[in-house]
């Protein structure tokens, strides 16, 4: 798992945690541990893009067989909140 951050966007890559088949399980953990809500779900044959809210901050959960899996935030609030989410994701790995 690693993180990319700039002034406008943050991406948390977590290919070792999630794939197309277990995305529901990871989202259930987000719901239980991070107060996440599903806003919109777009499922294609090879990728999923879910718009989610984690503690009232909007993210995209992207699961793509070719490009990997990532949580993307595009606001100042998302960049701040992503650090907490990153810590929570590390718990899932161990």
CB atoms within 10 A of CB 73: 23
Beta strand pairing call for 47-54 and 57-64: antiparallel
CB distance 3 to 81 below 8 Å: no
Encode pLDDT of 7-24 as tens digits: 778 788 877 777 778 888
Encode pLDDT of 40-56 as tens digits: 999 998 899 999 999 89
- Whether pTM > 0.85 for this model: the answer is no
What CATH number was assigned to the domain covering residues 2-93? 3.30.310
Q: What are the residue boundaries of the structural domains of the chain, listed by start?
A: 2-93
The helix (H) or strand (E) run that includes residue 10 is strand 10-13
In terms of Cα–Cα distance, which of 26, 72, 66, 29 is closest to 49? 72
Residue 4 CB contacts under 8 Å (≥ 6 apart), including other chains: 10, 11, 13
């Amino acid at each position: 798992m690693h993180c990319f951050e700039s002034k406008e966007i943050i991406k948390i890559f977590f290919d070792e945690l999630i794939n197309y088949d277990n995305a529901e399980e990871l989202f259930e953990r987000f719901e239980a541990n991070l107060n996440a809500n599903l806003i919109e779900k777009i499922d294609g044959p090879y990728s999923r893009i879910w718009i989610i809210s984690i503690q009232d901050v909007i993210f995209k959960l992207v699961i793509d067989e070719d490009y990997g899996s990532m949580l993307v935030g595009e606001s100042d609030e998302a960049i701040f909140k992503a650090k907490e989410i990153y810590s929570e994701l590390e718990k899932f790995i161990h």
